[in-house]
């Protein structure tokens, strides 16, 4: 046996001998600590736990996913990926959602925080963060744990937070969707008015007898040449009048027709965009898949009294041994100096 091992054996033996020698003092200190821990565990207000587990839904445009033929859009029926989890975590941890939950469930009154005292909001935030834990799991889901002395309120809070995050995410997206709808709506009505005006102008020109400038011009010119060649002056006169109308209004006809067709084509595209924007602005889909709703707990989750007593008693025992060792070493050194 080497020297180090001998010293360790010696020290261990000395410690055991010391504990046996001073067992009464150690037992007394440990017993006092155990009693205090029992009393403290009984004084602690028990809290009940409620848990919600949910998956975020994939994000994407409702209209594009459901009303268009594009294959590049996300499937709205699948669970979200890491991007959606991170986005939802940011909303869940936001001050806006916390304030919404605090006001909705009157937590200032529940936690007995007087708003006239110093820093009431800071105290509320601290209690909220102590009792509400939000975390992401390894399965890409989000877990909401709520502790409260009222088991019913704990369940209501957990379910309420899950509901409010869905509402907030819809509000964020709808705010943007409504702004986009305003832009498309202005363009929609502008083009609609433009198409109606070109259609009116087109109709007026057609009433003058011009229905297809190019084909009519070709036909009338051929017929006019034939009539002149045949010496049919009356027919040629009629055709000449028609050619005069074509000559006078033909350019306007082509210009209005082209503008009408272009505006009508553009209006068709914007009309489709307008319909899609209305769907995004007016319709909502849930942003969460609730796997486990918050239930009213039957048993308290905190404190675990036996664990508090055991840990406190063991800590007191170790502390008493160390304290007596220090006192004993001090007394020996003091006697040697004398």
pLDDT at 209 over 70: no
8 or 217: which carries more pLDDT confidence? Answer: 217
pLDDT, average across residues 36-51: 75
pLDDT at 269 over 70: yes
Distances (CA, A) of 237 to 19, 123, 330: 136, 99, 138
pLDDT at 64 over 70: no
pLDDT at 243 over 90: no
Tally Cβ neighbours within 10 Å of residue 25. 14
pLDDT, average across residues 161-175: 86
Measured CA to CA, the distance from residue 89 to residue 95 in angstroms comes to 12
What pLDDT was estimated at residue 294?
86
What pLDDT was estimated at residue 300?
74
Within the chain, residue ranges assigned H as helices are 3-21, 23-43, 62-67, 82-92, 95-104, 107-110, 120-131, 151-206, 213-230, 233-282, 305-337
Measured CA to CA, the distance from residue 206 to residue 201 in angstroms comes to 9
With pLDDT > 70 as the criterion, what percentage of the chain qualifies?
Answer: 68
Confidence of residue 145 (pLDDT cuts 50, 70, 90): very high
pLDDT at 292 over 70: yes
What pLDDT was estimated at residue 21?
75
260 or 249: which carries more pLDDT confidence? Answer: 260
Q: Where are the domains of the chain?
A: 186-282
């Amino acid at each position: 046996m080497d020297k180090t091992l001998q010293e360790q054996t010696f020290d261990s033996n000395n410690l055991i001998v010391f504990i046996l020698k001073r067992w009464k003092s150690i037992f007394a200190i440990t017993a006092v600590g155990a009693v205090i821990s029992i009393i403290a565990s009984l004084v602690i207000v028990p809290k009940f736990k409620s848990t919600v587990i949910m998956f975020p839904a994939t994000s994407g445009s409702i209209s594009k996913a459901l009303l268009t033929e594009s294959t590049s859009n996300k499937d709205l029926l699948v669970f979200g990926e890491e991007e959606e989890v991170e986005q939802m975590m940011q909303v869940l941890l936001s001050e806006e959602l916390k304030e919404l939950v605090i006001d909705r469930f009157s937590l200032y009154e529940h936690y007995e925080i007087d708003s006239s005292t110093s820093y009431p909001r800071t105290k509320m935030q601290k209690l909220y963060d102590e009792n509400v834990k939000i975390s992401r799991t390894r399965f890409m889901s989000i877990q909401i744990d709520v502790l409260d002395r009222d088991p019913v309120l704990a369940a209501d809070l957990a379910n309420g937070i899950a509901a409010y995050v869905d509402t907030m995410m819809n509000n964020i997206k709808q705010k943007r969707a409504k702004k986009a709808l305003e832009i498309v709506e202005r363009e929609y009505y502008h083009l609609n008015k433009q198409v109606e005006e070109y259609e009116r102008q087109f109709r007026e020109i057609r009433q003058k007898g011009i229905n297809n400038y190019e084909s009519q011009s070709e036909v009338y010119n051929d017929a006019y040449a034939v009539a002149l060649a045949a010496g049919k002056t009356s027919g040629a006169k009629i055709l000449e009048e028609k050619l005069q109308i074509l000559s006078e209004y033909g350019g306007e006809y082509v210009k209005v027709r082209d503008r009408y067709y272009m505006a009508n084509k553009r209006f068709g595209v914007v009309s489709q965009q307008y319909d899609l924007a209305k769907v995004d602005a007016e319709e909502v889909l849930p942003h969460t898949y609730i796997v486990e709703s918050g239930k009213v707990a039957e048993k308290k989750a905190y404190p675990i009294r036996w664990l508090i007593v055991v840990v406190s008693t063991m800590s007191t025992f170790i502390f008493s041994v160390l304290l007596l060792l220090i006192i004993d070493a001090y007394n020996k050194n003091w006697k040697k100096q004398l």
